[in-house]
Amino acid sequence: MASLSKERRLTAKQRLGGLTLCLSGCLLMNSPVSWASTKPDLKATAAPLLDATTADSTILASLFPYVITAAPLLSHPDQPVYRAYIAQSQVVITRVRVEETETGAQIVLETANSELATSSRQIVGNALIVDIQNAVLALPEGGEFQQTNPTEGITSVAVTTSDEGVRVEMIGIEAPPTAEVSATAESLTLDIVAGLAEESDEGVLQLVVTGERDEGYNPSGASTATRTDTPLRDIPQSIQVIPRQVIEDQGITRIGDALRNVSGVTRQRDRSNASDRFTIRGFDQSSILRNGFRTGSTLGGTLATAPNTVEQIEVLKGPASVLYGQVEPGGVVNFVTEQPSRAPFYDLAFTAGSFGYLEPSLDFSGPLTADERLTYRLNASYQNSDSFRDFVESDRIVVAPTLRYEFSDVTSLTLEYVHLDSSQTYDEGLPIDPISFDLPRDRFLSEPDDSYESTTNSFYLTLDHRFNENIRLRSGFGAELSEIDETGFRLLFNGFNPETGENGRQYVEREFSADNLAWQTDLISEFNTGSVEHQLLAGFELARTDGAESRADFFDPENEPLAINVFDPQYGTPIPSLESRNSVGSFDETGRTLGFYLQNQVALLPNLKLLVGGRYDFARTESEFDLTFSGQPFVGSDEFESEAFSPRVGLVYQPIGPISIYASYSRSFIPNSATTFDGDVIEPERGTQYEVGVRGEFGDVSVNLAAYDITKTNIIRTDPENLGFSIPIGEVTSRGIELDVAGEISDSWNIIGSLFFNDAFISEGDDNNPEDDTLINAPDSGASLWMTYEIQTGDLQGLGVGAGLFYVGDREAQIPNNVVLPSYVRGDASIFYNRDNWQAQLNFQNLFNTDYFESTQNTGLIFPGGPFTLVGRVSIRF
């Protein structure tokens, strides 16, 4: 719904699209974007020297050792114009201020004792654009500057990096503003006044997208794959990004639902239905990243992540142990949260929907001190809802404040805190049995008073310091402290009796705590060896997890006094007395990890890039248990140590500017905390992936096609001949093809879609894990397509609609394969209206009321998908 971003980007492309040559180095560059990213010292730092309409760039190359840009004339698109530049020293803009004046507003660009000069101007619609060619942004927050509603009559001001240097963009409400430019040795000032701007050589106009929607459906970069700000086109591994605009447009109220838009990803409900897990390329992935920190469970990853706190979701496919240690080979999900802004704003929203869903939320940000060195961001939301499931209710509050202090232009300290408090009915779903397909999806088989309560407090402290233009230090500490209390009746696995219609249950009281601590430090250095450019990342991670559980449970499989009839459930089963419990006790486990990693991103040529890296991990797990089963004590302790090296090698070749062809090899590992009957510690699980792919960027639409082959070894299961011990069963394999598309087809039309085919199976097994059986919750195919269209002009400007389809193929519910969750197609739609600083929208989820099953829960249960649901949202920003 960002109506002006397309026009802005087209303007830059029309001026700079074509061919860029570095004549002094005799290098042919196929894309100005490549040149800008690999040669920042020459990016837009030259003064125009020559304009010529000639088709022979070699003549210019023989005469001038300058940077030459060829761009087609708008009136003669088949005849390029070659423009030569002499490299000049860059002027660094260290700070941007916007101050209100009596006549309008004043934009001040502060520099380090070097004078700035504007070089071009244009008017596009109601926008004024000023380009500064001899400048580069180096703001303390490391990003770009945006402010909404700086003064009456002007909707936004933005200072961003462009293909030609630095761009100042101002949008008027009724007409483009006027700007008077003045420069000193330390700053450049633009005095802007709302009204009609005259087209002259002193000002420039352009439209921008306000707030967090600048790149719309097609973000150009992600940090998850390399821990550096690397363009997606330079990454030799499949990575998809779900931007905030998609989350808002689809009316996402549970953050895990956003992953429907990514190929190869299938969402799972956790057993309590309190949080989400994901199957990625056939492998169950419970570890979730939050700003690069690995959370200890999906509790901290998805339940504590409210949609209004997320800037974008990055999904890295394939093994990621090279940077993140102990993760499954399918991939990782990283929630990138919103950060403080110097531009103050206040965003209030209210969401309501079917089944009593209510959610007020707020998002505030701005400076806290006059010098703007201390900034904040506050996200908060409260959810209260019933459910399409009988007796199920939920209540959740998330508060996430962030503070950032800039000690200087090169040093900043950021503190983030997240508080989650959640209370809900424990909801298991239905037993894995074909009979469940005939049960109504609202059927509830626990007890109405069953509860699941959780509290999580998370802290993140990050220090960022830049020693100079080429060396940067980033060090962060994260702590996630969680507590869970659950009480209630749980279904026994394989406990359904088809003759009586009853399913056995057990009663459980459980208290669980988990503390996850991590310290990460990265040193990033950029340097050249001759004509070869390097971006070297060296770092380490020190992590500790502490988990403690106490529980008491009871079940009587013979008399089954706790069983429930799945066809005619009767509630009110009394809670067993403590004296009658089968098992009581406690379990404590501590895990420690130390990992060292090294990575080098090498630009061998402007269009040939190498990524090579490796990580060595040392893992140690200690556990103590004091349990009693049916009166028999089990007391003891275990200790396990393992280490592993996880490499990654990838190559990207860009034959022409928009196309990147890549190939990569990577490995993963997860320690095994188990021994064989002979006392041997089973080697860590190892994953190995080979991937090839091609990424294309066509205008404002990106397309990624990938093919992969993953094997995972040393998977363990209980030794059937020696209970209490384990054995490795062999190997599983996952192979597939994925296609992802995202971007803006036009100013009005956004699209995000995916398609995948996957074959994930046991390649070496045993009697209980037969070879060729398909892995659970791993569909053989899937697809998604979501589009929005917004009217850009006229009386209906701001009115838009959205529609999408989500297809998931057949999935096996358990191993051995004997229950299949059938495929389904779910349709969603929306209608929205944007006007000035407020928005209203309605989302229709499962529009055709499709009856389907969401997933197996990896625990012997399956969970049905929700029926037709209506969600409405109203928001205002000021």
What is the tens place of the pLDDT at every residue in 294-325?
876 545 455 667 888 899 999 999 999 999 99
> Hey, which residues does 840 pair with through a beta bridge?
833, 874
> Using the 8-state DSSP alphabet, how is residue 257 labeled?
G
Question: Nearest-CA neighbor of 823 among 858, 846, 851?
Answer: 851
What's the confidence (pLDDT) of residue 704? 96
Question: pLDDT-based confidence at 639, cuts 50/70/90?
Answer: confident
Give residue 118's pLDDT band: very low, low, confident or very high (50, 70, 90): low
Give the pLDDT score at 238: 95
C-alpha to C-alpha distances, 445 to 269, 424, 563, nearest whole angstrom:
16, 15, 9
Beta bridge partners of 131: 120, 167
Q: Are 405 and 353 in contact, with CB atoms under 8 Å apart?
A: no
Specify the 3-state DSSP secondary structure of 256: helix
As given in the structure block, the two tokens for residue 233 are 């086109």
Q: In the block, which residue shows the tokens 């004043």?
A: 106
Q: How far apart (Å, rounded) are the C-alpha atoms in residues 817 and 254? A: 30
Largest CA distance in the chain: 96
Sheet holding 178-183, edge to edge: 135-137, 91-100, 105-111, 187-193, 178-183
Over residues 67-111, the pLDDT tens digits come to: 333 333 333 334 343 333 333 457 888 888 888 887 888 898 888
pLDDT, one tens digit per residue, over 193-245 is 886 534 433 433 333 333 334 568 988 778 888 998 888 999 999 999 999 99
Q: What is the pTM of this model?
A: 0.76
Q: What mean pLDDT comes out for the span 321-345?
A: 92
Residue 454's identity, in one-letter code, is S
Residue with tokens 């965003």: 347
pLDDT on residue 875? 96
pLDDT at residue 113, as a whole number: 61
More confident residue, 62 or 867: 867
DSSP 8-state secondary structure symbol assigned to residue 776 = B
Closest by CA to 647, choosing from 691, 599, 604, is 599
Identify the band that residue 723 occupies on the pLDDT scale cut at 50, 70 and 90. low
Residue 382 has pLDDT above 70, yes or no: yes
Residue with tokens 């196929």: 30
Let me know: does 50 contact 64? Beta carbons within 8 Å.
Answer: yes
pLDDT for 66 beyond 70: no
Query: Which region holds residue 252: left if phi is over 0, alpha if psi is between -120 and 50, else beta?
Result: beta
Which residues share a beta bridge with 696?
659, 703
| Structure confidence by residue, pLDDT tens digits, 672-686 | 877 777 777 788 899
Q: Can you tell me the mean pLDDT for 459-463?
A: 96
pLDDT band at 666; cut points 50, 70, 90: very high
Looking at residue 305, its pLDDT comes to 77
3-state DSSP assignment of residue 140:
coil
d(CA 58, CA 577): 91
Per-residue pLDDT at 371 exceeds 70: yes
Q: Tell me the C-alpha distance between 70 and 82, whole Å.
A: 4
Q: What is the pLDDT of residue 51?
A: 36
Q: How far apart are CA 625 and CA 607, in angstroms?
A: 57
3-state secondary structure of 258: helix
Tens digits of per-residue pLDDT, 522-547?
A: 999 999 999 999 999 999 999 999 98
- The predicted-structure confidence for 574-596, as pLDDT tens digits, reads as follows 888 777 777 788 889 899 999 99
Residue partners of 542: CB distance under 8 A and separation at least 6: 518, 519, 593, 594
pLDDT at 398 over 70: yes
Identify which has the larger pLDDT, 468 or 6.
468
Residue 70, pLDDT score: 39
**Number of other CB atoms surrounding residue 152 within 10 Å:** 10
Is pLDDT at 63 greater than 60 in this prediction?
Answer: no
pLDDT surpasses 60 at 860: yes
Quick one: tokens of 774?
């398909």
Beta-strand pair 726-744/749-764: antiparallel
Checking if the pLDDT of 755 tops 60, the result is: yes
Region at 585 (left for phi over 0; alpha for psi -120 to 50; beta for the rest): left
Q: Are 389 and 426 in contact (CB under 8 A)?
A: no
Mean pLDDT score of the chain? 82
Where are the extended beta strands (E) located within 281-355?
283-285, 288-290, 293-294, 310-317, 331-337, 345-353
Ramachandran category for residue 4: left, alpha or beta (phi over 0 → left; psi -120 to 50 → alpha): alpha
Comparing CA positions, the residue from 251, 171, 165, 257 lying closest to residue 214 is 171
| Positive or negative torsion for Cα 330, 331, 332, 333 | negative
* Across 375-381, average pLDDT: 96
How much of the chain exceeds pLDDT 90, in percent?
Answer: 49
Mean pLDDT throughout 165-184? Answer: 83
The number of angstroms, rounded, from the C-alpha of 45 to the middle of its chain's C-alpha atoms is 34
Q: Is the dihedral of CA 230, 234, 237, 239 positive or negative?
A: positive
What are the structure tokens assigned to 350, written together?
């209210």
Q: Which helix (H) or strand (E) holds 6?
A: helix 5-16
CB atoms within 10 A of CB 577: 8
pLDDT-derived band of residue 163, with 50, 70 and 90 as boundaries?
low
Residues constituting the chain: 878
What CA–CA distances, in Å, run from 594 to 287, 479, 542, 614, 749?
17, 16, 5, 14, 47
Quick one: pLDDT at residue 31?
Answer: 33
Report the distance separating Cα 69 and Cα 36, nearest Å. Answer: 12
Closest to 760 measured CA to CA, from 145, 127, 84, 280: 280
Extended strands (E) in 178-275: 178-183, 187-193, 221-222, 230-231, 239-243, 265-269
Residue 199 CB: number of other CB atoms within 10 A? 12
Q: Which domains does the chain have, with CATH numbers?
A: 5-43+46-87 (no CATH), 91-193 (2.60.40.3500), 221-337 (2.170.130.10), 345-631+645-877 (2.40.170.20)
How many Å apart are CA 866 and CA 388, to the nearest integer? 7
Distances (CA, A) of 474 to 143, 144, 477, 526, 538: 15, 19, 10, 14, 11
Q: For residue 406, is pLDDT > 50?
A: yes
The pLDDT, as a whole number, for residue 394 is 92
Is the pLDDT score of 59 beyond 60?
no
Q: State the pLDDT confidence band at 876, using cuts at 50, 70 and 90.
A: very high
- Answer with the residue of higher pLDDT: 8 or 831: 831
Give the residue from 350, 447, 571, 433 showing the smallest Cα distance to 862: 433
Amino acid 85: pLDDT: 35
Does residue 699 carry a pLDDT above 80?
yes
